[in-house]
Chain A
Amino acid sequence: MKDSSSARNYKRFLISAGRQWALIFLVLETLVFIIFARGFFSLKGLQIIFFFSTAIFLLGTAETFVIITGGIDLSVGFIMGFASIVSAKLIVILSNMGISPGLSILIGIIITLLVGLIPGYINGTLVARLKVPSFIATFSMLSITYGISELLIQGVPAKNLPYLANNIGNGYFIYILPGKLVTLFKKPAIVRGEPLIEIIPNVVVFTFLFVFIFSFILKRTKFGQHTYAIGGNIEAAVRAGINVKSHLIKIYMVSSFFSTLAGIMYMLKYVTGKGDAGATFLLDAIVAVVIGGASLYGGIGTVGKTILGCLIIAVLETGLRMMGVPTFEKYIAVGIVLIFAVLIDQFFPELIHKED
């Protein structure tokens, strides 16, 4: 009697562990890197993880919305590159016209955000109104945005952006001079050698601001509910009176909005624009969503869990880089984690059924 109950407890523990495997994996992975990677476990190391991974977080969020509706968006990476080029070009043009750097950056970003909605609108229209499979529609858009980016840039990266862009992109939210002063956004003038503590890069602040807003929208609003409803059963959603077509168009626009944001972050960080800036992040974004437990058949997934998936990849990539492992291994590692994630999802439902 006792044996069977302890066995059951053990099994229950395994199941709960299986459900939280992503979290456990993240903790284990972090521990490994703390031990083996130099400088990983420090304020700076922690911030670097987030700083270099803004694109993964943003594109992961974009992909979450689309995957919940049962679609896929392959164009995110190249819309990101497109946006980085458009914003860089616009800012250069505006500042050449004699507008102050701050204003030209602001106007450039706002116009880019608006332009960035166009690919999403077209994707959405193709998918919702013309019934083109999302895979094909967004692949076409990938190709088209890449072509347009390269045409805009003519092989020469955008140069001569105002120095302010660099200050914003590589600046921090809070600066602390221990015992002396605390400033927000503005780097205090310091004597060389003074210990300045920098907390939270600006780009990370912007990134998570939008991620949290949209996480809230997905979780708590009607828009979010409808998104899940469409992904769960599109026929039922139509019968429930949801305007599925216009909703899907909005979803693809959300996706391209986030991709555009990722492009703008890229422009601020590296002070240039590049057509294939986001090419490698497509895999990362989709892997993050799948690790987060979303189903490619739609209806399941949350932004919070995707962020967990993003963290796994971000820690993996940054940790490997800090260990001095060439970036090539990263792709192998991400691929293996992806297959691992799906296999766990395949095996654990079975375990849960046996328990019942």
Chain B
Amino acid sequence: MASNTAIPVSAGKERSEIVIIFARNWALFFLIFLTAVFSFTGKGFFSLKNFQNILYLSTIFLLLATAETYVIISGGIDLSVGFVMGLSSVLSAKIMQIMHEALIAGPVTIIILGTLIAIGVSLMPGLINGVLIARYNVPPFIATLGMWGIANGITLKICQGFPVSYLPPGLVELGNGYIVYILPGKAFSFFHKPFGIEDSQIRELIRIIPNAIIFFVVVLSIFWFILNKTKFGQHNYAIGGSKDAAVRAGINVKKHLIIVYTLSSFLAGLAGVFNVFQTGIGNFTPFSAMYELFAIAAVVIGGASLMGGKGRIIGSCIGVILLRLIANGLSIAGVEPFYRFIAVGLILIIAVVIDQLFPDLF
């Protein structure tokens, strides 16, 4: 492409390749740029420990953003994910708490039962959303907003407005554990701290790869595979691109949409249960948390269009990590935490404006 000699009209359309690459991957470049900036502004930012920490704290957002990616590609939106996550978190914790108190079974059985029941129940909101949207033509925004209220109400009813605690032991070790522990020159172990370690040595212990990373890498890989390599994923893009065309092409759009919203709810449920593993308590979702909106923001930053038919899971992941990195970097640099909200808003605007300026690129 001889971009220098092109006439002005086509020069507008065929921008130089560097600009195209930059515009397509601006979130990634911005991520690298911010990493560099924060490395200078904050002590301890550029370290294995901190990077692992960022990923560890991104886990639930990654799951929610993946859910949102599926829904947004299909041309919808799911506002209920944040509260479905809270529901599953509180429900699983409550089940574990009751069974643990009654000493019905060993901790392992209790944890497995609580997890499975909570994830099973969290399929329900998605199923209802999907049926309302696909069969009764309720706009996705409204159906999931209704579920937003209902899930939140049920959550608060279960936990009465307090976090659920007194859970079986071993939960937090699973959620907060690391794959490899190294005590330089002395000890080395997998999955648990080396035996016989003294308290004074704990600070020197190097922890590598949180279990959380393995967990989300596995889940996200599965969902990446479904979206990119299967017929189901193709249909998702087709429906988002043009619903009418998808119907004419013989896709069972209604069934597909119901599955998509159920998947979204499933991922939110998974995030909720993982939240219990991370924090050791069942957390309800406060109104000011706005998980769903952060997830949507991450997906949009990752290059998806709210009109549907466009979006990538890897893009959404970059979006999540960008948002978490900003929160982390700002707090390490000693900036007030509230600037985070302002930063998120500004970056979101940048994302969409770039999308508008280069509509032909994505």
List the B side residues contacting A290 at CB < 8 Å: 142
Q: Do B148 and A72 touch across chains, with their CB atoms under 8 A apart?
A: no
Are B341 and A150 touching (Cβ within 8 A)? yes
Q: Is the CB of A283 within 8 A of B149?
A: yes
A140 in contact with B346 given A130-B356, A332-B153, A335-B153 (CB within 8 Å):
yes
B-chain residues with CB within 8 Å of residue A151 when the two chains form the complex: 336, 338-339
Nearest-neighbor residue (CB-CB) of A81 within chain B: B288
Q: Which of A139, A144, A331, A343 contacts B297 (CB 8 A)?
A: A139
- Give the docked Cα–Cα distance between A332 and B153 (Å): 5
Closest to A131 in B: B356
Q: Could you tell me which residues of chain B, from 135 to 158, have a CB within 8 Å of some CB in chain A?
A: 136-139, 141-143, 145-154, 156-157
Closest chain-B Cβ to A124's Cβ sits at a distance in Å of: 13
B297 and A147 form a contact (CB under 8 A): no
Partner-contacting stretch, out of A210-218, A239-247, A253-261, A322-330: A322-330
Q: CB distance B348 to A276 under 8 Å?
A: no
Q: A132-B356, A139-B296 are in contact. Are A276 and B287 (CB under 8 A)?
A: yes
Tell me if B100 counts as interface (CB < 8 A to partner A). Answer: no
* Cα-based distance from A146 to B136 in the complex (angstroms): 36
A286 adjacent to B153 (CB under 8 Å): no
Is A49's CB within 8 Å of the partner chain B?
no
Nearest CB in chain A: distance from B127 CB, A? 14
Chain B residues with Cβ below 8 Å from A137 are: 349, 352
> A118-157 CB contact bits vs B (8 Å, 1 = yes)?
0000000010001111011101111110111011000000
- Asked if A205 CB lies within 8 Å of chain B CBs, one says no
Chain B, Cβ-Cβ closest to A130: B353
B170 / chain A contacts, CB cutoff of 8 Å: none
Proximity string of chain B (337-349) to chain A, C-beta cutoff 8 Å, 1 when within and 0 when not: 0111111111011
Closest residue of chain B to A333 (Cβ to Cβ) is B153
- Among B138, B139, B345, the residue within 8 A (CB) of A143 is B345
Closest to A136 in B: B352
Complex alpha-carbon distance, A147 and B145, angstroms: 24
Q: How many A residues have CB within 8 A of the partner chain?
A: 45
B300 at the interface (CB under 8 A from A): yes
Please state if A342 and B142 are interface contacts (CB–CB under 8 Å).
Answer: yes
A189 on the interface (CB 8 Å rule)?
Answer: no
**Complex interface: chain A residues within 8 A of B156 (CB):** 326, 328, 331
- The docked-state distance in angstroms from the alpha carbon of A328 to that of B151 is 10
B306 interface hit (Cβ, 8 Å):
yes
**Those of A60-103 within 8 Å (CB) of chain B:** 72, 74
State whether the Cβ of A296 lies closer than 8 Å to any Cβ in chain B: yes
Given A279-B288, A326-B157, A336-B150, check contact A147 B142 (CB 8 Å): no
Least CB distance from A276 to B in Å reads 5
By a CB distance below 8 angstroms, the chain B residues around A342 are 132, 136, 138-139, 142-143, 146
Per the bound structure, the CA–CA distance linking A334 and B77 in Å amounts to 20
State A327–B329 Cα separation when bound (angstroms): 38
Chain A residues, Cβ within 8 Å of B343? 147
Q: Is the CB of A338 within 8 A of B149?
A: yes
Whether B293 sits at the interface, judged by CB under 8 Å, is yes
Nearest CB of chain B from residue A122's CB, rounded to whole Å? 9
Q: Enumerate chain B residues within 8 angstroms of A333, measured Cβ to Cβ.
A: 153
A139–B349 Cα distance when bound, in Å, is 9
Which residue of A is nearest B341, CB measured? A147
- Looking across the interface, which residue of chain A has its beta carbon closest to that of B306? A133
B120 interface residue per 8 A CB criterion: no
Partner of B152, one of A286, A331, A343, A346: A331
Contacts of A144 in B (CB 8 A): 341-342, 345-346
A131 to B355, CA, bound (A): 10
User: B348 contacts A136, CB within 8 Å?
Assistant: yes
Q: Which of B141, B146, B151 has the most CB of A within 10 A?
A: B146
For the complex, give the distance between the alpha carbons of A240 and B245 in Å. Answer: 32
Chain A contacts for B141, CB-based, 8 A: 72, 296
One digit per residue, 1 when the CB lies within 8 angstroms of any chain B CB and 0 when it does not, for chain A 209-248 equals 0000000000000000000000000000000000000000
- Set of chain A residues within 8 Å of B293, measured between Cβ atoms: 74, 139, 142-143
Q: Are A329 and B356 in contact (CB under 8 A)?
A: no
Tell me how far the C-beta of A289 lies from the nearest C-beta in chain B, rounded to whole angstroms.
10
When distances are taken between beta carbons in the complex, the residues of chain B under 8 Å from A139 are 293, 296-297, 345, 348
A306-356 contacts to B (CB < 8 Å): 326, 328-336, 338-339, 342-343, 346
Q: Give complex CA distance A336, B143 in Å.
A: 10
- B138/A343 in contact, CB under 8 A: yes
Chain A residues, Cβ within 8 Å of B290: 142-143
Closest residue of chain B to A338, judged by CB? Answer: B146
**CA gap between A147 and B345 in the complex, in Å:** 9
Nearest CB in chain B: distance from A88 CB, A: 17
Residues in chain B near residue A131, CB distance under 8 A:
356
Q: What distance in Å separates the Cβ of B335 from its nearest Cβ neighbour in chain A?
A: 10
Say yes or no: is A280 at the interface (Cβ < 8 Å to chain B).
yes
CA distance A36 to B161 in the complex (A): 25
User: 7 A-B Cβ contacts within 8 A?
Assistant: A142-B290, A147-B339, A147-B340, A147-B342, A276-B287, A283-B148, A339-B146
Known: A72-B141, A338-B146, A343-B138. 17 other contacts (CB 8 A): A130-B352, A139-B293, A141-B345, A143-B293, A147-B338, A150-B338, A283-B149, A328-B161, A329-B157, A330-B153, A331-B150, A335-B146, A335-B148, A336-B150, A338-B142, A339-B132, A342-B132
Instruction: Name B's A-contacting residues (CB within 8 A).
Output: 77, 132, 136-139, 141-143, 145-154, 156-157, 160-161, 287-288, 290, 293, 296-297, 300, 306, 336, 338-346, 348-349, 352-353, 356
5 smallest A-B Cβ distances: which pairs? A335-B149, A147-B341, A332-B153, A331-B153, A143-B345
A residues sitting closer than 8 Å to B (CB atoms) are 72, 74, 126, 130-133, 135-137, 139-144, 146-148, 150-151, 275-276, 279-280, 283, 286-287, 290, 296, 326, 328-336, 338-339, 342-343, 346
